[in-house]
């Protein structure tokens, strides 16, 4: 949520900040702004709207000089999108600027106290209150004989001891024109290390074009950064742990390339990302899977008698797929929990319960809190995550990386198929440790290995799926129906459509339609029915016929070779034959393409859908 970028070095700061903000815009795009120091002069520019519609035009009309600055692209929490509420925010003196991700929960009490002391506020944000609070502490240190840079860092430390909530911040001050101070708690922040220049950002994507060396700050870390060095202190300890990491992906991986949108690029990357998720993790000799980072022995894995999968959004749908797989392959009871509920529910967990947090970003606030709660209660907590160095990846007892590369599109696509791939491998491992036969294990492995090639054949239907999407793009409601392994895919298909096209869409188990939702079926409400040629085919076909009997249009996702389905459905999209448990991996791709083309036909911005942002780091 929201994006922060900071630069200090020898180059002109504003173009670097603007480039970084563009790379972070998927984290929030309600407004954007920069503060650049030129000597002792504070230059502030901020505009409501997407970067190229507001801030970029302002900077082009009136370029800013200066070799140090901070920038922010916003996803609104406190106060609606506006020029006044956009970041950076100034303190009372106007000499200090602050950008902030997160939520300051006690901002109202702090604001009241500062107003009584004579402070005036121009915005409705909690961030402006934080800026004034840091400035207030800085003014109180004016009698100190230490350098301004030392006083600024001390003021940040003192102010943060007063606040309740989450933050990733960057602070600059005209009294200390050569430094940036950053801090984090619950909202990611990294330091990028360059030659005679350093960077601060909420995401590696912002700085990968300039450096491959980064430091992932921990909660309660406070960094003081110049062009030549950086120092990290900690609010929670006498010393801070600092480790320099290498970025795994190239700058080109975060570019659109030949594709008009990141979402379409990431849909088409899925054959490669599924291969990456499989690479080195299959043991054909033992008909099982192997992972290097679980940090659990085979004996410990055998002792597991309950698994809780916790996640949010698309990752939650992947967890539902995982529930079917684990219970099918390993006969282990599995619960799938919304992370936002799990952290507060006090759910009873057996002694040998394994908790698995599933997240693309590794920074989702609710999922992180759920993982911490599981660890607090003494349970092993693993992570399935895409971002190396993320908070969840570092705090988990062990885990599995997706290796899907950066996912820029707000609507997750390749992360879902990578999560499903990894969950299938994990279920295979847990099954083989119990009663899953060698023969069945090899069938699953062969089906997984065939997956990337089958995904490529599905993607070849892109133009046909586009024509189907254009046919239904003006519908106001959609249903997505599936049974067993297809049900979580129906949920994910509905989510994709409503996320980027703003069409109301619902996913249901196909048999549940007759228990209420069927009242909404009419000739203007299409139903997408997942109907593979599997053990549930006849049952699902009956559910499809119920929709057709009420004149509801039907788009079927069916198995290649099923010629009769075309007589029961208005339109059919075929996927290659596979095992029932592997069907979700293939079936979701036509639904991603369908949602994409519907949204394009309706004129929607698929990479920056309204009200949404990537990596939700607030509650």
Paired tokens of 364 = 């989702």
Query: Within 10 Å of residue 499's Cβ, how many Cβ atoms?
Result: 24
Catalytic residue among 2, 173, 312, 604: 2
The DSSP letter of residue 88 is: P
Angstrom distance (rounded) from CA 618 to CA 233? 24
For residue 580, what is the DSSP state? G
Q: Which of 265, 380, 496, 614 is catalytic?
A: 614
φ, ψ of residue 263 in degrees (nearest 5): -60, -45
Question: Quick one: angle between helices 270-278 and 414-432, nearest 10?
Answer: 30
- What is the Cα–Cα distance from 63 to 15, expressed in whole angstroms? 9
Is 496 catalytic? The answer is: no
2 is catalytic: yes
Return the sign of the alpha-carbon dihedral for residues 397, 400, 403, 404: negative
Alpha-carbon 344 to chain mean position: 22
CA atoms of 200 and 408, how far apart (whole Å) = 19
Smallest Cα–Cα separation from 481: which of 455, 506, 502?
506
- Check if the beta carbon of residue 493 is closer than 8 Å to that of residue 506: no
DSSP-derived 3-state class of residue 395: helix
Evaluate the omega torsion of the peptide bond into residue 88 and state whether it is cis, within 30 degrees of 0: yes
Query: How many whole angstroms separate alpha carbon 27 and alpha carbon 608?
Result: 9
If 0-12 CB within 10 Å is exposed, 13-18 middle and 19+ buried, where does residue 611 land? exposed
Handedness of CA 568, 572, 578, 580 (dihedral sign): negative
Are the beta carbons of 527 and 548 closer than 8 angstroms? no
- Whether the Cβ atoms of residue 224 and residue 173 lie closer than 8 Å to each other: no
Q: DSSP label at 51?
A: G
Q: Which residues on adjacent β-strands are paired with residue 69?
A: 7, 36
Which residues have a catalytic role annotated?
A: 2, 614
């Amino acid at each position: 949520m929201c994006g922060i970028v900071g630069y200090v070095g020898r180059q002109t700061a504003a173009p670097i900040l603007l480039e970084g903000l563009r790379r972070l815009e998927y984290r929030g795009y309600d407004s954007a702004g920069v503060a650049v120091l030129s000597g002792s002069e504070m230059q502030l520019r901020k505009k409501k709207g997407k970067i190229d519609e507001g801030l970029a035009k302002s900077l082009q009309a009136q370029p800013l000089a200066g070799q140090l600055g901070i920038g922010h692209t916003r996803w609104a929490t406190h106060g609606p999108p506006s020029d006044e509420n956009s970041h950076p925010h100034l303190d009372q003196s106007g000499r200090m600027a602050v950008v902030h991700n997160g939520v300051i929960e006690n901002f109202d009490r702090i604001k009241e106290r500062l107003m009584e002391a004579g402070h005036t506020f121009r915005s409705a944000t909690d961030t402006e209150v934080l800026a004034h609070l840091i400035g207030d502490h800085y003014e109180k240190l004016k009698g100190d004989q230490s350098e301004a840079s030392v006083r600024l860092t001390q003021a940040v430390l003192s102010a943060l001891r007063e606040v309740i909530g989450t933050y990733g911040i960057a602070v600059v001050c005209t009294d200390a024109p050569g430094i940036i101070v950053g801090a984090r708690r619950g909202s990611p922040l990294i330091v990028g290390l360059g030659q005679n220049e350093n960077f601060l950002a909420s995401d590696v994507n912002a700085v990968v074009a300039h450096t491959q060396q980064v430091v992932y700050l921990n909660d309660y870390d406070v960094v003081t950064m110049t062009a030549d060095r950086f120092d990290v202190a900690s609010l929670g300890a006498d010393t801070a742990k600092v480790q320099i990491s290498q970025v795994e992906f190239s700058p080109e991986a975060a570019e659109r390339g030949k594709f008009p949108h990141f979402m379409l690029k990431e849909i088409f990357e899925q054959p490669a990302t599924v291969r990456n998720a499989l690479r080195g993790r299959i043991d054909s000799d033992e008909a099982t899977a192997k992972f290097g980072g679980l940090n659990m022995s085979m004996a410990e894995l055998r002792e597991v008698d309950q698994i809780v999968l916790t996640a949010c959004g698309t990752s939650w749908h992947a967890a539902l797929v995982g529930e079917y797989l684990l219970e099918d392959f390993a006969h282990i009871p599995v619960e799938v929990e919304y992370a936002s509920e799990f952290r507060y529910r006090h759910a009873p967990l057996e002694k040998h319960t394994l908790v698995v947090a599933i997240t693309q970003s590794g920074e989702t606030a609710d999922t992180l809190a759920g993982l911490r709660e599981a660890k607090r209660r003494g349970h092993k907590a693993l992570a399935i995550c895409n971002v190396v160095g993320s908070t969840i990846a570092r705090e988990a007892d062990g885990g599995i990386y997706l290796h899907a590369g950066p996912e820029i599109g707000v609507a997750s696509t390749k992360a879902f198929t990578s999560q499903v791939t990894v969950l299938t491998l994990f279920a295979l491992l847990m099954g083989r440790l119990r009663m899953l036969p060698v023969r069945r294990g090899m069938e699953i492995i062969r089906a997984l290995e065939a997956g990337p090639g089958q995904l490529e054949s599905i993607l070849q239907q892109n133009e046909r799926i586009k024509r189907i999407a254009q046919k239904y793009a003006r519908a106001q409601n959609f249903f997505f129906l599936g049974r067993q392994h297809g049900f979580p895919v129906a949920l994910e298909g509905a989510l994709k459509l409503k996320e980027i096209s703003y069409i109301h869409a619902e996913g249901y188990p196909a048999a549940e339609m007759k228990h209420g939702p069927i009242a909404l079926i009419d000739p203007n409400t299409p139903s997408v029915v997942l109907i593979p040629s599997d053990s549930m085919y006849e049952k699902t076909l009956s559910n499809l016929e119920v929709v057709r009997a009420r004149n509801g249009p039907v788009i079927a996702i069916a198995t290649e070779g099923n010629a009769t389905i075309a007589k029961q459905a208005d339109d059919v999209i075929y996927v290659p034959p596979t095992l029932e448990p592997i069907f979700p991996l293939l079936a979701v791709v036509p639904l991603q393409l369908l949602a994409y083309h519907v949204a394009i036909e309706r004129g929607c911005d698929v990479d920056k859908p309204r009200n949404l942002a990537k990596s939700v780091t607030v509650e």
